Amino acid sequence: MTSFLCAIGTATPDHRIAQPQIATFMAEALQLDDANARKLRALYRVTGIGHRYSVLPDYSRANGDFTFFPNTPDLEPFPGVGQRMAVYREHALPLSVAAARNCLRQVPEVTLASITHLVTVSCTGMYAPGLDIELVQALGLSSNIRRTCVNFMGCYAAFNALKLAEAFCQADANARVLIICTELCTIHFQKNREDDHLISNALFGDGSAAALVQATPAQNGPSLALAAFHCGLEPDGRADMAWHINDFGFEMTLSSYVPRMIQKGIRKLTDDLLQNLPVKLRDIHSFAIHPGGRKILETIEQELGMSTDDNRFAYKVLREYGNMSSATVLFVLRELMASLTPADAGAPVLSFAFGPGLTLEAMLLQVHHA
């Protein structure tokens, strides 16, 4: 039985901040001298990011007008985990609700009462009773809906949520699964001058994406059939992408070696995904790749013989939002779905996402158009 990704909705916080503004905040927060501040601004310029969204207005403000970080030259006392989780709890629910409603408006035939499963995804905040229960109440979902939380898996976690949704639909033809990925990455800024932290601080933003998966396609417009999944691991990259809880929030490690690790494994990942399918790489012209960074996208293009235009949806999301961890690939898939026409029916779509491990996830979808 085939399962279908029928709709994707997105939401972002109110604060849309230009990349140069964030660079200025970071240079001052890290108390960099002029030479290192110039290097930092150069790093921000080459990311391919124009703007990012944050639940915190501080990244666009001068010291003295901060609402979250202390208005002191060195930002001390630096916010701890408890303060950051309080911000997560305040903002995650309304952002998730907005994404879910945006998603469900696209499928008016789907009632709230008909949704059987809720899968919440996040690696930037946790509490209990959690976001899943709050969403049931805020959206008016059935109190006996089956809830699953996918936590702390990082940027590839949406793939695990889609795999769960497919399994639910395979087990029950009446299943309707609402997936909500909500990440508030910017609340975890780390005041650290190491290169890995400078790279992380230059990439991540906040956002939420919701997706509906069911055993039948949407009644109107495009749907994406979930055709196949494959997961690979590059253990040599374990130290290059990691996510740890420390005293001052969740500490992201993202080294400059990650593109090299992806380069090492992306062709094998693709071959393994397609080896038992009647689809070859040369047959695929639509791509939805998680934009973990500009260099990652360029590396994949080189290894798979793709053009920049093939990757246009990923570049657009990177430019307009940055990397929003698990929500990001759903933003890319939404851009792709919005471009589909009846002439695209039957076309294969190749999607990738990457995360700690180093984990490489691949998914093949097929366009269905009502």
By annotation, the residues acting in catalysis are 155
Q: 266 in helix, strand or coil?
A: helix
Q: Are 234 and 213 in contact (CB under 8 A)?
A: no
What is the chain's length? 370
For the beta carbon of residue 142, count every other beta carbon within 10 angstroms. Answer: 13
261: helix, coil or strand? helix
- Helix (H), strand (E) at residue 368: strand 359-369
CA 67 from chain centre, in angstroms, equals 26
Tabulate helix, strand, coil % of the chain (nearest 5): 45, 25, 30
Structure tokens at 290: 């998680």
For β-strands 176-184 and 117-122, DSSP reports them as: parallel
CA-nearest of 40, 63, 49, 45 to 17 is 49
Compute φ and ψ for 90, nearest 5 degrees: -70, -40
Q: How far is CA 143 from the centre of its chain?
A: 28
How far apart are alpha carbons 131 and 152 in whole angstroms? 14
Q: Report H helices in 13-80.
A: 19-29, 34-45
Amino acid 277 reads L
Q: Name the residue among 301, 346, 28, 325 with its Cα closest to residue 205.
A: 325
Burial class (CB in 10 A: 0-12, 13-18, 19+), 143: exposed
